[in-house]
Amino acid sequence: MAKTIEIGIGHQSMVTNTVSGGVILDKLKLIEKYLPTAGQYEDARYRIVFRDYDSGPPITNQMLAGKLDFGVMGDYPLIVNGAKFQETKSQQTRFIGVTGYNLKGTGNGIVVPYDSPVQSLADLAGKSLSVPVGSAAWGMTLKSLRDAGLFGKVQIVNQAPPVGAANIAARRIDAHADFCPWSEIMEFRGTARKIFDGSEAGIPTFHGIVVREAFAREHPQIVEAVLAATLEAQQWIQSDPVLAATQVSEWTGVEKEVLYLYFSQSGISTMEASIKPQWVEALKYDHALLQKEMDIPDLDFDAWIDDSYLKRVYARAGLDYDAMVQTVVSTEPGNQDLPAAEMWLEGQGVQGFPSIADMLAAVEEANAAGHRINATYVYDNLTGLKLFGKAAYLVRGDAGEVVAFMKKSDSDQYLVEHGGTALLKGDAVAMLP
């Protein structure tokens, strides 16, 4: 009699960095392509169950209960997962691969209501800030407040991402910190404005996959099948970011324009699975913070991190794993190999421009012709971070050149040093979708 093997996967479809280990695998049926069918699996039937969550902790709880075999979650929840399993003495998980990352920490961010007078962390003193406690955004918030001498001066409230976003829109909270892509969702919807980007905290952010060690020991080929499918999902995103953004938007409800900001070349997320030394260092830093703030158990990183499955998958795909470990994508200003700005015209795709000024001219032409513009994209002049055109502070120089900034204080400083004119409400910026 054929046996049925159930594979339970907990994921977060609304979190951009996890889609290559969750919703894409589900919708494109990618795992099925790689599942073993020989030997002990010759007569096996598979039942793959995807369960979608708003955050990582519920996934860990379900894995501890034996109801899920794999979990896809962010760096802080990953640590809690490994530590809680090791604490049981009878169960273990293994961290086996990365689904998406940003070396500098962009993806986490702190926003305020769009019309708030708050422009910086210092302005939050005496105010309230909500954040999903235990998340990477929470860790970023604690570090940034400490670095700014504001710890204890800002009231922190625990709120899940959809709740925080709703409260920002209704102006029921002074600020909200969250992980990808919630800051950009609120920016795109016009309800919030970013005052702090995760890159300013100086800690990488990433999401990855853990598996119950008992399941991995019994079914190593299935673990490799899940990882092979994840690699294909990552390559699918990279091969056509517009298509990927459009498809994932249909599956999740996250706006395609937000997803493109993450998926596109030079976008916020890099979809690559290798476990790099930078991730291990960040995990150890994060674990120390979690132990201090939440008293979580110890974690034996050498036992928990296991890239042996991933190495075999890379080898079969003809990829050099060691070379990938050494290759890290980082956002840098002034990348001359990329368009300086982009415009997504409805029905016509994304068009690149050699300068922001050229893009603004194209926006005026498209508006005059009655075309719908889905979004525009520019780069922060100081960091190279990709931004929505409508969320950026633009400065037009005396010679007509235009530069973009994520923060108003940076654009103000540029004006002092270089002169020019700020493009404010009612000017060209107001026309940017």
Q: What would the pLDDT profile of 387-396 be if each residue is shown by its tens digit? A: 999 999 999 9
Residue 432 is predicted with a pLDDT of: 46
The structure's pTM equals 0.94
Residue ranges of the alpha helices (H) in 67-108?
A: 75-88
Measure the CA–CA gap between 55 and 119, rounded to whole angstroms: 28
- Residue 1 — pLDDT band, cuts 50, 70, 90? low
pLDDT digits (tens, 9 = 90+) for 230-278: 999 999 999 999 999 999 999 999 999 999 999 998 999 999 999 999 9
pLDDT digits (tens, 9 = 90+) for 308-336: 999 999 999 999 999 999 999 988 887 66
For tokens 């270089």, name the residue.
Answer: 418
Residue 150 is predicted with a pLDDT of: 95
Q: What residues contact 64, with CB distance under 8 A and at least 6 apart? A: 84, 85, 88, 91
Q: What residues contact 167, with CB distance under 8 A and at least 6 apart? A: 130, 159, 173, 176
In whole angstroms, how far apart are CA 234 and each of 135, 220, 263, 426? 23, 21, 10, 40
Local structure of residue 5 (DSSP, 8 states): E
293-307: average pLDDT: 95
Residue 427 is predicted with a pLDDT of: 43
Distance of CA 272 to the CA centre of its chain: 13
Q: Which of 13, 16, 52 is nearest to 258 (CA)?
A: 16
Measure the CA–CA gap between 354 and 233, rounded to whole angstroms: 31
pLDDT digits (tens, 9 = 90+) for 153-211: 999 999 999 999 999 999 999 999 999 999 999 999 999 999 999 999 989 999 999 99
pLDDT digits (tens, 9 = 90+) for 353-399: 999 999 999 999 999 999 999 999 999 999 999 999 999 999 999 89
**Cβ atoms of residues 271 and 234 within 8 Å:** yes
For tokens 């194209």, name the residue.
Answer: 362
- Assess whether pLDDT exceeds 90 at residue 431: no
**Cβ atoms of residues 73 and 80 within 8 Å:** no
343-350: average pLDDT: 94
Q: Which of 393, 383, 386, 390 is nearest to 433 (CA)?
A: 390
pLDDT digits (tens, 9 = 90+) for 55-97: 899 999 999 999 999 999 999 999 999 999 999 999 999 999 9
- Domains of the chain plus CATH, in order, are 4-103+205-326 (3.40.190.10), 109-201 (3.40.190.10), 341-431 (no CATH)
DSSP class per residue in 302-359: HHHB--HHHHHHHHHTT--HHHHHH------TT-TTS-SEEEEETTTEEEEESSHHHH
Measure the CA–CA gap between 182 and 165, rounded to whole angstroms: 7
Residue 333 is predicted with a pLDDT of: 83
Residue 332 is predicted with a pLDDT of: 82
Q: Which of 103, 51, 53 is nearest to 75 (CA)?
A: 103
Instruction: For residue 1, count other CB atoms closer than 10 A to its CB.
Output: 4
Would you state the structure tokens that stand for residue 4, as one six-digit string?
């049925």
Residue 336 is predicted with a pLDDT of: 62
Q: Which of 105, 410, 157, 86 is nearest to 282 (CA)?
A: 105
Q: Considering just the CA atoms, what is the radius of gyration of the chain in Å? A: 22
Residue 338 is predicted with a pLDDT of: 86
- Residue 126 — pLDDT band, cuts 50, 70, 90? very high
- Assess whether pLDDT exceeds 60 at residue 430: no
In whole angstroms, how far apart are CA 432 and each of 332, 344, 346, 428? 24, 11, 14, 7
Q: Tell me the pLDDT of the chain averaged across its residues.
A: 94
Measure the CA–CA gap between 411 and 418, rounded to whole angstroms: 10
Phi first, then psi: what are they for 121, rounded to 5°? -60, -40
- Assess whether pLDDT exceeds 60 at residue 17: yes
Q: Which of 426, 389, 425 is nearest to 405 (CA)?
A: 389
- Assess whether pLDDT exceeds 50 at residue 344: yes
